[in-house]
């Protein structure tokens, strides 16, 4: 047990502060470390939470030390597990009544107390509690190694042209938003706009799935409708797999990428609308766009998830800008080009190749390889053609000559 934590009412809490460990982790995760450090400015210095104390609290949670003393925080998944709740039905049975705001439905149960929830669908996803230890590990990484910003994802050579905004219209699954952010980071897109997400915003599930691109999630803007999301854009494309009876230009990702780069070079702001997972964009939403963007696909199975669609279009956009890189580039890894990477070696010169040929031919002559003798010139030509196809480096030529010389010495020794 750390000196900063005590057990009160079977729950780990901060000594003298009284907040639960889960509350501290939640605040640090959602609003940042400084929000935790400054939440009690009137406390005496001896009792005020400092960096060292916060780190110990985070380590306590991240390592799930609460399990050792069987004292878990309310709303934590470990607490749910310790109570033996295995499914949503078990959870509902704890209460005498459960009232759903969206439908007005009230469910009666054998338990005690009353519970009011927004909807059964939302509560079915949240009943098990949050994985606060996972949040604690994430905050610890930020505390120790710093926070990755959007500028860390987008290089200076990629910011010359303004990338198109990615607009997700009423996304239903938070994890899909996270995967979209990851795809955006891969291809230099940093402007994410979310329109009326079903499960609310911000979303920790989206941040968790973003896998290194959480900065894009953090910088995303929330909008009540499509009109608000595109209000500052000059050109907008609407993605769809369904044919629309509308008099609008239909474009593929490659052509759309060219349009966006040209428009961006002229100072225009562009955006791409992506519809709901279940049924895409409405006709009225498509009507707000300047063009319809359709991805070439198998016409018998035209189903792509959000991240796949963003990835394909983002790939074409980055390729059109000319700033794409084969693989990552770091202080220790330089940009590479398609083809064979010779590193510090070079292609062998013709003189070096001829030296290899003559060396091999000489030793083969000694061993009587050229039979019948009148076919010698044909065999030599075939061997030289075969070795020339290697496109050998200078080091490979030296290695092959060394192999020949070793084989000859071994035979002579026998």
Strand partners, 223: 195
Distance CA 134, CA 241 (A): 37
- The mean-pLDDT minimum among 58-67, 142-151, 232-241 falls in 142-151
- pLDDT score at 146: 65
- pLDDT at 327 > cutoff 80: no
- pLDDT exceeds 90 at position 246: no
- Domain residue ranges of the chain, discontinuous segments joined by +: 1-85+128-147, 93-122, 148-321, 350-413
Tell me: pLDDT of 352 over 60.
Answer: yes
Mean pLDDT across the stretch 131-143?
84
Strands ordered across the beta sheet of 270-274? 221-223, 192-195, 165-169, 270-274, 235-239, 291-293, 250-251
* 395, 344 contact by CB (below 8 A): no
8 A C-beta contact, residue 24 and residue 54: yes
263: which residues sit within 8 A by CB, 6+ positions away? 234, 235, 270
11-to-8, 62, 91, 132 alpha-carbon distances in Å: 5, 16, 20, 14
Stretch (H or E) spanning 238: strand 235-239
Cα(194)–Cα(203) distance, rounded to whole angstroms?
11
Q: Chain-wide mean pLDDT for the chain?
A: 86
pLDDT tens readout for residues 58-73: 999 989 989 888 889 9
**What is the model's pLDDT at position 47?**
42
Determine the straight-line distance between the first and last CA of the chain, rounded to whole angstroms: 74
- Look up the pTM and report it: 0.58
Q: What is the mean pLDDT of residues 1-14?
A: 83
The CATH H-level (homologous superfamily) assignment of domain 148-321 is SPOUT methyltransferase, trefoil knot domain (3.40.1280.10)
260 contacts 317 by C-beta, under 8 angstroms? yes
Nearest to 290 by CA among 318, 308, 268: 268
- Which of 256, 220, 254, 222 lies closest to 238, judged by CA? 256
């Amino acid at each position: 047990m750390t000196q900063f934590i005590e057990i009160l009412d079977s729950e780990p809490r901060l000594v003298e502060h009284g907040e639960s460990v889960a509350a501290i982790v939640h605040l640090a995760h959602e609003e940042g470390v400084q929000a935790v450090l400054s939440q009690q400015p009137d406390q005496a210095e001896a009792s005020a939470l400092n960096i060292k104390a916060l780190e110990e609290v985070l380590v306590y949670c991240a390592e799930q030390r609460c399990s050792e003393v069987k004292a878990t925080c309310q709303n934590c998944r470990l607490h749910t597990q310790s109570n033996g709740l295995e499914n949503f039905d078990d959870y509902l049975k704890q209460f005498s009544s459960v009232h759903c705001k969206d439908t007005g439905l009230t469910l009666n149960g054998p338990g005690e107390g009353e519970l009011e929830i927004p909807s059964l669908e939302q509560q079915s996803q949240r009943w098990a509690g949050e994985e606060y230890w996972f949040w604690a590990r994430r905050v610890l990484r930020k505390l120790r190694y710093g926070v990755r910003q959007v500028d860390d994802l987008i290089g200076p050579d990629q910011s010359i042209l303004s990338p198109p905004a990615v607009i997700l219209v009423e996304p239903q699954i938070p994890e899909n938003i996270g995967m979209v952010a990851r795809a955006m980071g891969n291809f230099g897109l940093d402007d994410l706009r979310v329109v009326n997400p079903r499960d609310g915003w911000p979303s920790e599930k989206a941040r968790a799935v973003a896998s290194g691109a959480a900065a894009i999630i953090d910088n995303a803007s929330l909008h009540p409708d499509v009109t608000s999301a595109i209000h500052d854009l000059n050109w907008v494309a609407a993605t769809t797999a369904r044919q629309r009876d509308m008099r609008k230009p239909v474009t593929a990702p490659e052509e759309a990428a060219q349009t966006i780069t040209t428009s961006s070079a002229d100072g225009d702001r562009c955006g791409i609308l992506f519809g709901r997972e279940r049924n895409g964009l409405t006709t009225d939403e498509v009507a707000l766009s300047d063009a319809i963007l359709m991805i070439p696909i198998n016409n018998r199975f035209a189903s792509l998830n959000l991240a796949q669609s963003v990835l394909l279009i983002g790939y074409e956009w980055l390729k059109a800008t000319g700033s794409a890189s084969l693989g990552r580039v770091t202080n220790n890894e330089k940009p590479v080009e398609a083809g064979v990477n010779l590193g510090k070696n070079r292609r062998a010169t013709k003189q070096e190749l001829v030296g290899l040929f003559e060396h091999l031919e000489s030793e083969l002559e000694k061993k009587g390889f050229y039979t019948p003798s009148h076919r010698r010139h044909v065999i030599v030509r075939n061997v030289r053609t075969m070795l020339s196809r290697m496109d050998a480096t200078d080091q490979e030529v030296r290695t092959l000559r060394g192999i020949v010389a070793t084989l000859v010495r071994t035979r002579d020794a026998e």
